[in-house]
Amino acid sequence: MRFSKWHALGNSYLVVERADSGVLTADRVRLLCDVDRGIGSDGVLEIVASDGVSAEIVIWNPDGSTAEMSGNGTRIAARWLAAYTGESEVVIRVGPRNVRARMINDIDVATDIGEVDVGAIETIDAGGETVELTPVSVGNPHAVVRCDEPTRELLLRLGPLIENHSRFPERTNVQVVNPVSRHEIAALVWERGAGETAASGSSASAVAAAAIANGWCDSPVTVQMPGGDAVVRFADNHAVLVGPAVEIYSGMMAQANDDLDSLFKTTFRLDPAQADASRQRAADNADLQRVQDELRDMHEPLPPKQLIRAWIAIVAIVEAGYDGMREEYSNDLMTRDYIGELCRRLPGKWAELFEREIASWDERFRAATVEEAEPHLPDLMGNAGWWQYRSPRLWPGEQHAEIDG
């Protein structure tokens, strides 16, 4: 799956095209945004369709929920589309809103966020604390809290309490703010579905709108956030947000497709949680029968890394002295078949990395086996990999000649 990673004032998004990625789900989004298991991001911009001068997007939060609006997200989507088509003005469709965007230079983008609705100041009880806030709608909900000093400690305390308060049945974004001058205001952002965030375009628009409506500031307003400054101008109750959108890098995520997932489901090799322990027991030549039972009887779908671990466990068993039957050995070799099939389906660079991971274990397997004239089983494509022509040096009750292929 192809992707590009962007940031707007430190607020990062992945951009993917539905035509390439397929329809995203909450689980897939959580995986993509996970820094350890995926790519890592504050959200995903799913390009549903584009025609050169406009694009329709779905904005995903890292928790798998969707957002009605994102100032940073629409700005990134606009810059992505402009870079792709060469247009200087584009339109990004987010739900019912058409956000018009103009490229100011190679980095900055001006986006017409649309109408902003500011409510009257109200009071709520947040965890036993009385909090005054200004409700604002920028297509998505916001709660702007003015304080003498917007500290991170205050944000981390009030953010989740207000986000999930019964006053906001769909949850809300939260900002703690303090006016600096008639045209500047400092803000910290708690983003619905994401938590503490370096910067947010819709939050900047909400803060500026609340500041003008409450008489704290005049347009234009520079909203100072930890990730950087955004400038918001108002005309006819429309917010025009100006800020940067920068591509960090692009790439391809090695992700199993549905066909490969079905292959994994029939791999039946090793439960991931027990892979390392099984490998160690095999290496110690202890309880080999139990290891073999695990390899054959546990029918868990395996991601690529676990396929490698399963192959490592099999190699360790063969090195220690294989005591199974020929039919069992043929089944065990299917693990290497699946690895070969995966390498054929991955893009070249990822296939090379995957093969490099198992190269030393393939060599150890060769050293612990002898060459046969006939393969044990053809592989998944009807052919036979080199491993299918290798047998353990010792079978139960059989002696092989010491012949290396």
- Band of the pLDDT at 229, cuts 50, 70, 90? very high
The per-residue pLDDT for 291 is: 42
Residue 243 falls inside a structural domain = no
Residue 242 falls inside a structural domain = no
Q: Give me the domain span that covers residue 211.
A: 117-236
CATH number at residue 189: 3.10.310.10
Higher-pLDDT residue of 234 and 258 is 234
Provide the token pair at 245.
Answer: 């959108």
pLDDT score of 230 more than 80: yes
User: Are residues 100 and 124 located together in one domain of the fold?
Assistant: no
Question: Residues 282-309: pLDDT tens digits?
Answer: 444 444 444 444 444 443 445 566 677 7
Phi, psi of 196 (to 5 degrees): -60, 130
User: Are residues 281 and 388 located together in one domain of the fold?
Assistant: yes
In the predicted model, what is the mean pLDDT of the chain? 81
CA-based nearest residue to 331, from 287, 293, 286: 293
Strands (E) located in 165-210:
173-181, 184-191, 195-197
Question: Residues 49-80: pLDDT tens digits?
Answer: 998 899 999 999 999 999 999 999 999 999 99
Residue 315 falls inside a structural domain = yes
The per-residue pLDDT for 313 is: 80
Give the mean pLDDT of 259-286.
39
DSSP-based three-state secondary structure for 145:
strand
CA atoms within a 13 Å half-sphere pointing along the CA-CB vector of 87: 21
> What span, in angstroms and rounded, lies between the C-alpha atoms of 166 and 170?
9
Query: Residue 160 contacts by C-beta under 8 Å, 6 or more apart in sequence?
Result: 190, 195
What pTM was estimated for this model as a whole? 0.58
Share of residues in the chain with pLDDT > 70 (%): 78
pLDDT score of 367 more than 60: yes
- Band of the pLDDT at 273, cuts 50, 70, 90? very low
> Total domain count for the chain?
3
Count Cβ atoms within 10 A of the Cβ of residue 61 and give its class: 0-12 exposed, 13-18 middle, 19 or more buried.
Answer: buried
Determine contact, residues 144/203, Cβ cutoff 8 Å.
Answer: no
Cα–Cα–Cα angle for 149, 155, 157, rounded to 5 degrees: 115
pLDDT score of 233 more than 60: yes
Sign of CA dihedral 165, 169, 171, 177: negative
